[in-house]
């Protein structure tokens, strides 16, 4: 929510509540307070003011549309109440300026401007037709010319500031788009790198898992020989002395283990079982 949206909401609400109070007191002075409370216009202005007050705190894009169309609606009511009312065309201009400020006219500006002027032209014609039908079209044209005069005059006065604002806005938009593209690129690279790291970690995890000796049919006696080999190393003679069995038994067990594990030397066997844990009797 921009500060401008908040200020517009508070300003319109303050003026609206003040106008409702003035209407109430003015009617009460002539017809009495009870009659003033029954007057619809008092409540209508109060409700419009309350509605636009809420837009000062809302963070939705809908609030900006309300701030744009509510002055247009009130201006239309004023024009039909009195087509020469100072409020009507003034509120039309205010509505257009707010729409411009809120960025609601960035796309299709010429088309929206044409619809806006056509709407004013038609409302003024319809409002004045009942009073002077012969000149209603002329009044509609005059209203459009008046608003065009005000708009073009404001553009001439603030042309440099408007050009700077438009250029700044375009630079900011281009910068934000660049940031979004860069963010998407980095996010994509991060996701790809994360996927690679996940695969690497999964590979390390699988490599760190102990080898399932039971699935290869390694017996308890063979596990004792394998444990001694991995924990202490040494030749067949040294293994037989450590385990208290004959060298031929150690050799037979290792040959059986080589065959079951699919390796042909003790170094490959040690590497294959390097993550296995062992207790005093064999594998943990």
Q: Tell me, what's the pLDDT at 205?
A: 55
From CA 42, how far away is CA 244, in angstroms rounded? 110
Query: What pLDDT is stored for residue 235 in this prediction?
Result: 85
In the listed set 131, 163, 195, which residue is the last one of a domain according to the structure?
A: 163
- The reply to whether 151 and 12 lie within a common domain is yes
The reply to whether 55 and 196 lie within a common domain is: no
Q: What is the pLDDT of residue 284?
A: 43
Residue 284: inside a domain, yes or no?
A: no
81 shares a domain with 204: no
Task: Clarify whether residues 154 and 169 are in a common domain.
Answer: no
- Give the 3-state secondary structure of residue 283: strand
> Are residue 152 and residue 81 in the same domain, yes or no?
yes
Which pLDDT tens digit goes with each residue over 18-62?
887 887 787 777 777 777 677 666 677 788 888 888 787 777 677
- Same-domain pairing of 45 and 137: yes
Which residues, other chains included, contact 93 with Cβ-Cβ below 8 Å and sequence gap of 6+?
147, 150, 151
Query: Do both 42 and 174 map to the same domain?
Result: no
Q: Does residue 277 form part of some domain? A: no
Among residues 191, 209, 227, the one where a domain terminates is 209
- Per-residue three-class SS string for 51-65: HHHHCCCCCCHHHHH
Number of domains in the chain: 3
Q: Is residue 278 part of a domain?
A: no
| Burial class (CB within 10 angstroms; exposed 0-12, middle 13-18, buried 19+) of 76 | buried
Judgement on whether residues 24 and 60 belong to the same structural domain of the protein = yes
Backbone φ and ψ of 278, nearest 5°: -130, 140
Cβ proximity of 51 and 97 under 8 Å:
no
Please give the Cα distance from 255 to 34 (Å, whole number). Answer: 113
183 lies in which domain range?
A: 164-209
Half-sphere exposure of 188 (CA within 13 A, CB side): 6
In this structure, the answer to whether residues 40 and 158 fall within a common structural domain is yes
154 and 266 fall within a common domain: no
Domain assignment present for residue 171? The answer is: yes
Asked whether residue 178 is assigned to any structural domain, the reply reads: yes
In a domain, residue 16? The reply is yes
Residue 23 included in any domain? yes
Q: Is residue 109 part of a domain?
A: yes
- For residues 230 and 158, membership in a common domain is answered with no
**What is the CATH classification number for the domain harbouring 228?**
1.10.10.10
Neighbours of 25 (CB within 10 A): 12
Q: What residues of the chain score a pLDDT lower than 50? A: 282-284
State the DSSP string of 70-122.
HHHHHHHHHHHH-TT-HHHHHHHHHHHHHHHHTTTTSSSHHHHHHHHHHHHHH
Both 13 and 121 in one domain: the answer is yes
Confidence at residue 234, expressed as pLDDT on a 0 to 100 scale:
81
């Amino acid at each position: 929510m921009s500060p401008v949206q908040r200020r517009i909401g508070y300003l319109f609400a303050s003026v609206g509540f003040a106008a409702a109070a003035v209407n109430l007191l003015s009617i009460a002075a002539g017809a009495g307070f009870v009659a003033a409370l029954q007057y619809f216009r008092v409540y209508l202005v109060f409700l419009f003011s309350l509605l636009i007050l809420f837009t000062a705190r809302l963070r939705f894009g809908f609030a900006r549309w309300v701030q744009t169309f509510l002055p247009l609606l009130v201006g239309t009511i004023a024009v039909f109440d009195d087509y020469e009312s100072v409020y009507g065309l003034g509120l039309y201009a205010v509505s257009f300026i707010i729409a411009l400020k809120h960025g609601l006219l960035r796309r299709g500006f010429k088309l929206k401007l044409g619809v806006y002027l056509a709407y004013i032209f038609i409302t003024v014609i319809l409002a004045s037709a009942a009073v002077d039908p012969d000149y209603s079209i002329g009044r509609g044209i005059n209203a459009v010319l008046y608003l065009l005069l005000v708009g073009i005059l404001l553009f001439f006065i603030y042309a440099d500031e408007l050009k700077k604002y438009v250029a700044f806005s375009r630079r900011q938009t281009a910068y934000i788009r660049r940031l979004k593209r860069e963010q998407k690129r980095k996010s994509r690279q991060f996701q790809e790198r994360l996927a690679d790291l996940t695969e690497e970690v999964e590979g390390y995890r699988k490599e760190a898992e102990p080898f399932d000796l039971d699935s290869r049919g390694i017996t308890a006696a063979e596990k004792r020989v394998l444990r001694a080999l991995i924990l202490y190393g040494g030749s067949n003679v040294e293994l037989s002395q450590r385990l208290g069995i004959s060298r031929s038994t150690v050799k037979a067990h290792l040959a059986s283990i080589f065959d079951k594990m699919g390796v042909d030397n003790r170094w490959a066997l040690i590497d294959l079982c390097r993550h296995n844990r062992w207790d005093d009797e064999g594998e943990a």
